[in-house]
Amino acid sequence: MLKLSKICVRDTLKCLDLSVAAGERILVVGGNGAGKSTLFGVISGRINPDHGSVVVDGMDMTIVSECKRTYIISSILQDMKAGMVEEMTILENMKLAYMRTGGRKVSKGDIDIFKAKLSIFGMDLENKSHEYARNLSGGEKQALSIVMATSADYKLLLLDEVTSALSQKVSDLVMSSIDEITSMERKTCLMITHDTRYMHSFGNRTLEMKDGVLCGALRSS
Amino acid sequence: MIGIQELLTSIEVGLILGIVAIGVFTTFKTINFADMTCDGSFVSGAAVTAVLIRGGINPYLAILASMIAGGIAGVLTAVLNVKYKIADLLAGIIVAYMLYSVNLMVMGNSPSVTFVDHRTIFSDSSLPAVVVMTMLVTAVTCMMFSSFGLKLRAVGYNKQFATTHGIDVDKITILGLAMSNAMIASGGSIFSQFQGFSDVSGGFGMLVMGLASIIVGTNVLPFKREPLLILSCIAGSILYRLFINVALHSDALGIKTQNLNLVTGVIMIGIMLMKGGVNRNAKAK
């Protein structure tokens, strides 16, 4: 599904190799400056590697722009504001989310699926479709950005420190909801986190990253 | 004292320049791009119209041609910004500066071209012009409700979000500026047909007028949803013309005609201080 070969980015990533099978859900842990966000930047296309190749679903994506990669790679960044347009309503954000894969018209069925996913979080967001995103709490915003990232079709989901700004209770809820959505849809998923509490509970594999290289699996199933 | 005829003329001019205000609104508020091309593209629309109408071309086709000319100017500004990374403000200033020479060339190196004896959309009555303007406003409002309008707004509000959600920010910016300057040029075209001449300096102050109309309109009318704010631009433009008329008739208060800009500026500041400014980012902070 995802194959990174000999990826080098200045001094941040050092000849990194990674293979992820379809449907695998992997947690990447590591300290500050380990190169986790750079690794995600390379996969999403935000950062061009100095050397190496990025292959997703059999297609060489190394020189494909970030915008074009979003057709198959969906990502949620640490900054909640990047996951939605706060000045738009939940419904307008939903329409934008469905445009990621080419801008097809949103059907009533799409809206129902979107609301069903929102209901997984138990925050009553499904009944607030005309609410402006700026009026939502931090946890609600993150829930909305996760549902937006997983609404249109995607092959790979990248989650970058999605719980870092949330309280423990909301983090647990968000993590279990992500687990539920990604396992239900059998999608490939990579998540970065500092939070070691989820090392043994999220996904199938936990990898540790240190000084720009993947040291090995802390857990695998 | 303002006469009824003067009042009607103010409303008519306000409506025409409301089209320009919509163009300015699209760049400054919707896609958050400080586009200074306006003063140049307005004259481009007027210049193309004057030359074509004098050449016997249908005045409606002249509006269409002026929109193409304005659209090209907008594309040029956008390309300088998105491809060559020249700051939005500077890119617009450079293009507007160059357009002065281009407009002069279009008008046969003459600073003014009159076509009062030729047929325009105002020849029989003002109704055809009102229909054209209604069509333009309806088209832009519908566009704002469409998926393209949603993308324009997303790019203006949050470029990082737009990129991570598959919106080609560069393409949308280019299309947005093309559309905005096409609207501004159509305003120039209709205004020149209203006046019966085109002047190479006619665009001076159009940007300020557009911004002032946005400030007045968005602060006076209760609309909050972006697509409906388009209507606020038209209302703001009409109110702005009425302010100018008041300023021109303020002799009784000891204010002279030469104080026009000062008086209208003070009225603008007053409205801004009442409810906030034109820059939504500053407002958000």
Residue A140 has pLDDT above 80, yes or no: yes
When pLDDT is averaged across residues A79-107 and rounded to a whole number, the result is 84
- Secondary structure (3-state) at A17: strand
Tens-digit pLDDT profile for residues B96-122: 999 999 999 999 999 999 999 999 999
Task: Give pTM, 2 decimals.
Answer: 0.87
> What pLDDT, on a 0 to 100 scale, did the predictor assign at position B181?
97
Distances in Å between the Cα of B285 and the Cα atoms of A45, B195, B253, B280, B281 are 31, 43, 38, 9, 6
Q: How confident is the model at residue A129 (pLDDT cuts 50, 70, 90)?
A: confident
b/e per residue B27-37 (b: at least 16 CB within 10 A):
bbbbbbbbbbb
Whether residue B82 contacts residue B162, with contact meaning beta carbons closer than 8 Å, is answered with: no
Q: Which amino acid is at A11?
A: D
A25 class by beta-carbon count within 10 Å (0-12 exposed, 13-18 middle, 19+ buried): buried
CATH 1.20.58 fits B4-279, yes or no: no
Q: Does the CB of A71 have a partner CB in chain B at under 8 Å?
A: yes
Q: Does the CB of B161 have a partner CB in chain A at under 8 Å?
A: yes
Pick the residue with more confidence: A165 or B21?
Answer: B21
- The residue of chain B with its CA nearest to that of A134 is B284
CA-nearest of A158, A197, A168 to A25 is A158
Interchain pair B147, A103: CB under 8 A = yes
| Neighbouring C-beta atoms of residue A45, cutoff 10 Å | 22
ipTM of the prediction: 0.84
Interchain pair A95, B147: CB under 8 A = yes
When pLDDT is averaged across residues A51-60 and rounded to a whole number, the result is 91
Q: Which amino acid is at B147?
A: S
**Looking at chain A from residue 72 to 101, which residues have their Cβ under 8 Å from any Cβ of chain B?**
75, 77, 79, 81-88, 92, 95-97, 99-101
> What pLDDT, on a 0 to 100 scale, did the predictor assign at position B276?
54
Interchain pair B163, A66: CB under 8 A = yes
CA-nearest of B165, B147, B161, B153 to A100 is B165
Q: How confident is the model at residue A113 (pLDDT cuts 50, 70, 90)?
A: confident
Domain ranges of chain B: 4-279
A130 class by beta-carbon count within 10 Å (0-12 exposed, 13-18 middle, 19+ buried): exposed
Q: What is the mean pLDDT of chain A?
A: 86
C-alpha distance from B153 to closest chain A C-alpha (Å):
9
Interchain pair B163, A71: CB under 8 A = no
Sites in chain B below the pLDDT cut of 70 = 1-2, 250, 252, 275-285
Tens-digit pLDDT profile for residues B68-97: 999 999 999 999 999 999 999 999 999 999
Q: Which of B151, B164, B167 lies closest to A82 in CB terms? A: B164
> What pLDDT, on a 0 to 100 scale, did the predictor assign at position B88?
95
Terminal C-alpha separation, chain B: 43
> 């703001």: which residue's tokens?
B236
DSSP A189: E
Name residues whose C-beta falls within 8 Å of residue B71's C-beta, 6 or more positions apart in sequence: B178, B179, B181, B182, B185
User: Please, which contacts does B238-241 make with residues 24 or more away whose CB atoms are closer than 8 Å?
Assistant: B238/B10, B238/B11, B238/B14, B238/B15, B238/B18, B239/B14, B239/B213, B240/B14, B240/B17, B240/B209, B240/B212, B240/B213, B240/B216, B240/B264, B241/B10, B241/B11, B241/B13, B241/B14, B241/B17
Whether residue A184 contacts residue A20, with contact meaning beta carbons closer than 8 Å, is answered with: no
Interchain pair A95, B163: CB under 8 A = no
Tens-digit pLDDT profile for residues B117-138: 999 999 988 899 999 999 999 9
Distances in Å between the Cα of A26 and the Cα atoms of A18, A191, B221 are 11, 6, 52
Interchain pair A67, B169: CB under 8 A = yes
Tens-digit pLDDT profile for residues A180-220: 888 888 889 999 887 777 777 777 888 888 888 888 766 66
When pLDDT is averaged across residues A160-176 and rounded to a whole number, the result is 83
**Looking at chain B from residue 165 to 194, which residues have their Cβ under 8 Å from any Cβ of chain A?**
165-169
- Secondary structure (3-state) at A135: helix
What is the number of residues in chain B? 285
